[in-house]
Amino acid sequence: MERTLVIIKPGTLQRGLAGEIISRFEKRGLKLVAMKMKQLDQKILDVHYAHLKEKPFFPWLCDGMMAAPVILCCWEGFEAVKVVREMAGATNARKAVPGTIRGDYSMSAQENIVHTSDSLENAAIELDRFFSPEDYCDYPSPLNSYLYAPDEK
């Protein structure tokens, strides 16, 4: 099973939408294997958003990501990286399709509810950035035979 990182952004927490967003991933059948609340700082955002450092909106993006704590979640599932990314929808929420998280809860290219890892390789790097091995919880998945076919693992 793949693992991917979701960051519930500060604005989502402030708007009281964190539970609804977590619920969407739960209802899809993804398994929550690690979760914590954290106040991000500039140092970690310089690394996490290094690909955007030269963009004019970078300072605003960082301000938004430090405006309140975030909720860091690791979701596990078959092909979870792509599934979670598609559930989030387009980066610019005004272009995100209704039914996606951004398409249902946001009007902004910046304040777009969640971060999701964009590849399996980056998911591993990002999960290591925010979680330690002891943060992961190993617990039974008794419904897996109802969620998946035998070859979906």
Binding site for Mg ion (CB under 5 A): 118
User: What's the CA gap between 145 and 22, in Å, rounded?
Assistant: 22
For the bound state, the minimum distance from the C-beta of residue 86 to ligand UDP, rounded and expressed in Å, comes to 11
Q: Name beta bridge partners: 36.
A: 72
- Residue among 36, 38, 46, 57 that touches ligand UDP (CB under 6 A): 57
H helices of 1-153, where? Answer: 10-14, 18-28, 42-48, 58-66, 80-88, 101-105, 120-130, 144-147
The verdict on 39 binding ligand UDP (CB under 6 A) reads no
The partner in contact with residue 61, picked from ligand UDP, Mg ion, none with C-beta cut-offs of 5 to 8 angstroms by kind, is: ligand UDP
Q: Which of 115, 117, 123, 127 is catalytic?
A: 115
User: What's the CA gap between 76 and 53, in Å, rounded?
Assistant: 30
The partner in contact with residue 117, picked from Mg ion, ligand UDP, none with C-beta cut-offs of 5 to 8 angstroms by kind, is: none
The verdict on 124 binding ligand UDP (CB under 6 A) reads no
Catalytic residue list = 115
